[in-house]
Amino acid sequence: MKKSEMKFATKVIHVGGHPDPETGAVMPPIYQTTTYAQESPGKHKGYEYTRSHNPTRTRLEECLASLEGAKYALVAASGMGITTLIMHSLPPGSTILCGDDVYGGTYRILTTVFHKIHNIIFVDTTNIKNVERAMKEHKPQLVWIETPTNPLLKITDIEKVTQLARSHKALSVVDNTFMSPYFQNPLSLGADIVVHSMTKYLNGHSDVIGGCLMTNRKSLYEKCWKLQNTLGPSQSPFDSWLVIRGLKTLAIRMQAHEKNALKVAKFLEAHPKVEKVVYPGLKTHLHHKLAKKQMKGYGGMITFYLKGDIKKSKRFLERVKVFTLAESLGGVESLIEHPAIMTHASIPKKLREDIGISDNLVRLSVGIEDSEDLIRDLENALKSL
C-alpha cells in the first residue's frame, strides 16, 4: 500500500517502519554511530556524520512528514532548536509577526535572542482584523501562530491568517504541539511550515526532548537542514528511536486524552469552587465553532480559574495526588501546573495579567489514566479549599 493511501493509525506504525534489510529485525535499529565507512573518498550511502544525517532519524522524519501530509520533515534536539533554525533561515532585519499568547519559551527566545537580529511584533492573532492591520503596518516576512494557545486555549483561524500572510508574501508557521497531527493539519489549511515540540504528544511518554518541522517547500527544508548541520542541534539516534516507539500509539493516545479531557472539563464546569473552565470542546468556549471547523478533535489540555487567590491555588496544587505538579504536557500521565508561577513566569506580570494568566489560573494536561480516578482526585483537592 502506498503510504499516502494509509490512514493515520496505520501511518504511525508503518511509515519509516520497514524491517531492517540486513537482518529482518522488525524494529528499527538504533544506529548509535557518529560516522560511516566510505567505499572511496566521497563515495558513501548518503550518510557521513550523525550531526548531518542518521538512519534512525531518517526513519522518524519519514513518518513525521507523512503525518502532516508533508514532503519534508526535519527533526531537532528540541522544539526550541527548531525555532532557532527557522529564525536563522530569515535574512537579518526581517520582521516577525507573532501571536501574543504563545509558549513561554517562544516568547523568551524572540525577546531575548532574536530581537537582536529581527524585528519582533506581537499581536492577538485570534482577531483577524488585528492581523490584517499589523500586516499592512509592519510588512512582516514571517507570521508565527500557535493554536490553540498556551495556556489560554484561544483559537486562531489558520486558513484566514495563512491566506493573509500569503497575500503579503510572508511565510506562515503554525506551532501545532497542542493538537498533534492527529487533530489538526495546518499545512492543509495553508501554512508553509508546521512545527511541533515532540517532547509533548508526539513522543507522549515524557522521556525525550525533541522538535520537528514539516513543510512542502524544498528550499526552506534545505535551508533549515543546512543550518542544523552548521549550528548543531541535531537529535541523538537513541532519542529519535524513542520517538519512533512513542509515535506508534499516537492515534489511540490522542483519542484517550480527548475522551478524558471532555469528562474532566464537564466535571470542573459544574463544580461550585471553579470560576470558569476553558476547553475548546465545551460549547461555552469562546471559539468553539472555529475549533470545530478546523480541528478534528479538542485535545487533552484544559485550563480553569479557581474561585480564590494565589494561596488557594497553591493549596489546591499541593493536594492533588494522581495529577503530578510539573511543567510540560502531552504525556500519558496527568500533569497539573500554575502558569503564572511555572511555565509563563518569563512573561512580565503586567502583560501576563493583560492576556488573562492570573494567579487563580490552573492548567491541566489530562493523561490517559481512568477518568474516574482523575475526577476523584480533583474533587478531593477542591474539597479541601
Ligand X SMILES: *Cc1c(COP(=O)(O)O)cnc(C)c1O
Minimum gap (Å) between residue 212 Cβ and ligand X: 10
Burial state string for 207-245 with b = 16 or more CB within 10 A and e = fewer than 16: ebbbbbbbbbeeebbebbbebbeeeebbbbbebbbbbbb
- Measured from the CB atom, the residue of 122 and 267 that comes closer to ligand X is 122
Helix (H, G, I), strand (E, B) or coil at 255: helix
Of positions 89, 125, 141, 150, contacts ligand X by CB under 6 A: 150
Cell, residue 325: 505538579
Minimum distance from CB of 328 to ligand X (Å)? 7
Active site residue 20: no
Stretch that binds ligand X, among 23-31, 107-115, 192-200, 302-310 (CB under 6 A): 192-200
- Interface map 66-95 toward ligand X (x if CB under 6 A): ------------xxx---------------
Question: Of these, 211, 280, 281, 339, which contacts ligand X (CB under 6 A)?
Answer: 211
Cα 168 from Cα 346, distance rounded (Å) = 32
Please say if 354 is a catalytic residue: no
What letter does residue 47 receive in the DSSP assignment?
-
Q: Tell me how far, at minimum, the Cβ of 270 lies from ligand X, in Å.
A: 28
Size of the site for ligand X (CB under 6 A): 16
Is residue 197 a contact residue for ligand X (CB under 6 A)?
A: yes
List, as one string, the DSSP characters of 223-237.
HHHHHHHHH--PPPH
CA atoms within 13 A on the CB side of 64: 35
The residue whose Cβ lies closest to ligand X is 79
> Catalytic residue at 298?
no
Minimum distance of ligand X from residue 83's CB (angstroms)? 7
Kindly tell me which of 82 and 277 has the beta carbon lying closer to ligand X.
Answer: 82
What count of other Cβ atoms lies within 10 Å of the Cβ of residue 180?
26
* φ and ψ at residue 76, rounded to 5 degrees: -130, 175
Q: Phi, psi (5° rounding) for residue 198? A: -70, -15
Is 51 catalytic? The answer is yes
Among the options 72, 103, 279, 298, which is catalytic? 103
Q: Which stretch binds ligand X (CB under 6 A): 12-20, 29-37, 196-204, 309-317?
A: 196-204
Q: Which one of 175, 239, 359, 377 is the catalytic residue?
A: 175
Instruction: Report the 3 state secondary structure along 279-326.
Output: CCCCCCCCCHHHHHHHCCCCCCEEEEEECCCHHHHHHHHHHCCCCEEC
Q: Which residues are at the interface with ligand X (CB under 6 A)?
A: 78-80, 103, 105-106, 146, 150, 175, 177-178, 197, 199-200, 209, 211
| Catalytic residue IDs | 51, 103, 175, 200
